[in-house]
């Protein structure tokens, strides 16, 4: 669905050194390929072939594999074999349970701590999400998914708790992969757009309780849609 030189999902620090940027580049590209299902669940990772395809050395690629295993996108098997993490009912349940606990706590804190400039940025992302959700085109869905990722991670960073935001950073990529699973199974665009506006409006009002409930409904709806399309 996505060209191998296209990055949609990144946590990159622009202040990183050149060596770190190369490692992050391999990480971003490989993460994007897994989330977008260009690398299918259960696929075996051929490190030499992937290194040549992406144009990164073996060391940055191996470092990326280690980090993506921490994000539960890759599984390192005995004898150093690496496969793309499969999708199972148990995995889905755990992903949504974790998101509910972590992101509901984060948005409640963000309602009190998020700078107005970031709320304005989130408001703009919500409008972009609403527009892109109406399109059936794969390219527009890829853009929607990238903005959706940014939307949730912006809230995580704004909660003011590094331990909480780091935990969300680890679970968010696995959850974003489910968006592509839903799209592949024919989920309608309008179903993707319903809940973000409620989250933004609650943050504007600095109402943590309402923001938490809006986030809870959003995640619960995503879980229901995923399970219904299995």
What is the tens place of the pLDDT at every residue in 17-36?
Answer: 344 566 688 899 999 999 99
Euclidean distance between the first and the last CA atom of the chain, given in angstroms as a whole number: 20
- Least Cα distance to 35 among 103, 82, 77, 85 occurs for 85
> Per-residue pLDDT averaged across 101-127, rounded?
97
Higher-confidence residue: 187 or 86? 86
pTM, 2 dp: 0.89
- CATH fold for domain 18-84: Arc Repressor Mutant, subunit A (1.10.10)
Quick one: CATH architecture of 89-228? Up-down Bundle (1.20)
Instruction: Give 146-160 pLDDT, tens digit per residue.
Output: 999 999 999 999 999
> Per-residue pLDDT averaged across 78-99, rounded?
91
Our CA angle for 212, 129, 54, nearest 5°, is 105
Instruction: Give 121-146 pLDDT, tens digit per residue.
Output: 999 999 999 998 888 888 888 999 99
- Least Cα distance to 41 among 9, 76, 87, 80 occurs for 87
Residue with tokens 């179903």: 191
Parse the chain into domains and list their residue ranges: 18-84, 89-228
SS3 25: helix
Neighbours of 136 (CB within 10 A): 10
Residue with tokens 């199972």: 88
User: What DSSP string describes 170-202?
Assistant: HHHHHHHHHHHHHHHTT--GGGGSSSHHHHHHH
């Amino acid at each position: 669905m996505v060209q191998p030189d296209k990055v949609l999902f990144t946590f990159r620090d622009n202040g990183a050194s050149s060596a770190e940027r190369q490692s992050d580049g391999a990480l971003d590209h490989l993460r994007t390929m897994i989330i977008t299902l260009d690398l299918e669940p259960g696929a075996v990772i051929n490190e030499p072939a992937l290194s040549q395809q992406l144009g990164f050395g073996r060391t940055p690629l191996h470092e990326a594999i280690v980090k993506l295993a921490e994000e539960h996108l890759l599984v390192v098997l005995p004898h150093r074999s690496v496969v793309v993490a499969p999708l199972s009912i148990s995995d889905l349940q755990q992903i949504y349970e974790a998101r509910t606990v972590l992101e509901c706590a984060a948005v409640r804190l963000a309602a009190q701590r998020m700078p107005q400039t970031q709320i304005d940025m989130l408001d703009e992302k919500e409008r972009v999400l609403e527009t892109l959700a109406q399109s059936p085109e794969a390219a527009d869905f890829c853009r929607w998914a990238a903005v959706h990722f940014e939307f949730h991670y912006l809230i995580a960073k704004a909660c003011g708790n590094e331990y909480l935001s780091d935990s969300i950073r680890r679970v968010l990529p696995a959850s974003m992969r489910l968006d592509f699973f839903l799209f592949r199974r024919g989920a309608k665009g309008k179903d993707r757009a319903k809940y973000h506006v409620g989250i933004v409006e609650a943050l504007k009002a600095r109402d943590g309780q309402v923001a938490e409930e809006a986030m809870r409904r959003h995640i619960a709806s995503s879980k229901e849609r995923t399970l219904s399309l299995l």
